[in-house]
Amino acid sequence: MMDKEELLSMCKRRGFLWRSAEIYGGEAGFYDYGHLGAKLLDSWKQKWKDFFLGLDENYHMIYTNNIMPHRVMEASGHVDHFSDIMIRCERCDSYFRGDHLIEQETGENAEWMGKEDMKESIKELELSCPDCGGDFSEPEDFNMMFTVSLGPTGQKTGFLRPETAQGTYINFRREYRALRKQMPMGLATIGSAFRNEISPRQVVFRKREFLQAELQIFFVPGIHDEKFKKKYQEIEEMKVNIRREDWDETREVMLKEIDDIQPFYLYHLGKMYEFYTDIMKLSSKDIRFRELSDDEKAFYNKIHFDIEVNFDTLNGWKEVSGLHYRSDYDLRQHQENSNQSLSVSTDDGKKIPHVIELSFGIDRNLWSLLDKGYKDDDRTWLDLPKEITPRQVAVFPLVRKDGLPEKSREVFDKLRSDFRVTWEKSGSIGKRYARNDEVGTSYCITIDYDTLEDESVTIRDIETTEQIRVEIKELNDILKELIYGRKKFKDHMEQED
């Protein structure tokens, strides 16, 4: 089983991610992405956009502000309710999330607990400070938003957004008109969110500044969701791992067996699952949907499933994204507080649209790729989806003389516009393979003396370490076939035999 520290050490050493402001000792809850991490992030974002915006012609990207005016976050309910329960050690003054301490002790989710339940439970379990053994203070609410002052006097305040969603809701009316009142309408956004987490931990899993990719779909139930009926029928036999709120275990079921949830929601649930299996290439045994109970979910969420991944480095199942049916709560709140109509016209009169939200925490998703991909058996290698991996191809000259470096630069230049590719000449070939295996380079191309004679090169496959020999003129096409899954490496090997 992969150890968190070992994976993090590779990430730091090789340019994926590390603590922000490291040279000053760092600050809990902040991480930066290095050159490989940034490439991984960019390709994941691109795949996310291609996949989810591709679900309907009326799903679009927008970008909105990080700083939200006070009134917006008041209307959304965050000023009054966006809090976690904090407990403080009376001896060493350390702060903890009460539910997390209880969860660690019992193995049971404790997010649903209020202050009174928590006080009781801490007493019953005889919990004390994990740092010094001291006693805890009374549980208290802690609002997790970062306040920012606006302008020179500091009298006006706003908030760093704790989720990207509100920026989308407040732009609903403008986009509805700009898009000529087509419904259902999907508005997606990717950007930073900020939460003053009480105890940031588990590398990028609980950060204070993190990245979200969210798609908000606006529709009037019974009217606009009809459009997806046919699309849903095409996937209704798809099997997903799911744990309903009242089940004791996860079961594999067909979407159509979940007959108490409307097809519009199930269609997006199926597509999220497909994103994890087909695009992120996670094994279905490592992913599941978990339905939240009424105690756990926000009161306005009619249906709430989290997607969870079974992490090796983070002790098991953890939330990476969610699918929320938020009813008409959001637009209703903003309509009431802004005094602007956010309703749409239907044959049945004016209606406030409802929202289905697909919400992904990007950092957690990237960590799941690293966690599931990092293999340390007879060699260390990173098994990432070839379309997402930060480095798809590496090109090496076998030796640093006799014209091989120059020839390999030619090959490198030929590949650059089609792939994420690097050129390396230092160290032995074995070391170069090992370095590239560790960061998930799908294919290594070696230029040797034969190349100068017959214009052919070797391609080495990261998964099997097998090699094939191909002509340079065919190289781009063959790599495309391999990376985009049109042909397998072993098919090429069989062709050679």
Where on the chain is the footprint of ligand ATP (CB under 6 A)?
A: 163, 195, 197, 206-207, 210, 212, 319-322, 359, 361, 363-364
Please state whether the peptide bond connecting residue 69 to the residue before it is cis, i.e. omega within 30 degrees of 0: no
Cα 306 from Cα 290, distance rounded (Å): 5
Please say which residue, 118 or 415, places its beta carbon nearer to ligand ATP: 118
**Which runs of consecutive H residues, i.e. helices, occur in 184-305?**
229-235, 263-274
Phi, psi of 400, deg, nearest 5:
-95, 45
Strand 67-69 relative to strand 156-160, pairing: antiparallel
Q: How far is the CB of 193 from ligand ATP (least distance, A)?
A: 7
Q: Residue 326: helix, strand or coil by DSSP? A: coil
Residue that the structure tokens 């009480």 belong to: 198
Q: Residue 472: helix, strand or coil by DSSP? A: helix
Q: How far is the CB of 14 from ligand ATP (least distance, A)?
A: 22
**Which runs of consecutive H residues, i.e. helices, occur in 218-261?**
229-235
Q: How far is the CB of 140 from ligand ATP (least distance, A)?
A: 18
C-alpha 156, offset from chain centre: 34
Q: How far is the CB of 382 from ligand ATP (least distance, A)?
A: 22
Please say which residue, 210 or 412, places its beta carbon nearer to ligand ATP: 210
Q: How far is the CB of 125 from ligand ATP (least distance, A)?
A: 21
Q: Closest-CB residue for ligand ATP?
A: 361
Q: How far is the CB of 200 from ligand ATP (least distance, A)?
A: 7
End-to-end CA distance of the chain: 37
Tell me whether residue 376 is exposed, middle or buried, using C-beta atoms within 10 angstroms of its C-beta: 0 to 12, 13 to 18, 19 or more: middle
What the block records as the tokens of 107 is: 């193995």
Question: Measuring CA to CA, how many Å separate 388 from each of 48, 215, 275, 477?
Answer: 10, 20, 12, 18
Please say which residue, 333 or 442, places its beta carbon nearer to ligand ATP: 333
Cα 360 from Cα 364, distance rounded (Å): 8
Q: How far is the CB of 20 from ligand ATP (least distance, A)?
A: 13
Neighbour-count burial for 203-216, b at 16+ CB within 10 Å, e otherwise: bbbbbbbbbbbbbb
Please say which residue, 195 or 407, places its beta carbon nearer to ligand ATP: 195
Tell me whether residue 405 is exposed, middle or buried, using C-beta atoms within 10 angstroms of its C-beta: 0 to 12, 13 to 18, 19 or more: middle
Please say which residue, 232 or 360, places its beta carbon nearer to ligand ATP: 360
Please say which residue, 166 or 451, places its beta carbon nearer to ligand ATP: 166
Residue that the structure tokens 């529709």 belong to: 219
All residues at 6 or more sequence positions from 148 whose CB lies less than 8 Å from its CB, including other chains: 67, 157, 158, 159, 160
All residues at 6 or more sequence positions from 173 whose CB lies less than 8 Å from its CB, including other chains: 340, 341, 342
Q: How far is the CB of 61 from ligand ATP (least distance, A)?
A: 18
Q: How far is the CB of 163 from ligand ATP (least distance, A)?
A: 6
Please say which residue, 286 or 448, places its beta carbon nearer to ligand ATP: 286
Q: How far is the CB of 319 from ligand ATP (least distance, A)?
A: 5
Please say which residue, 29 or 397, places its beta carbon nearer to ligand ATP: 29
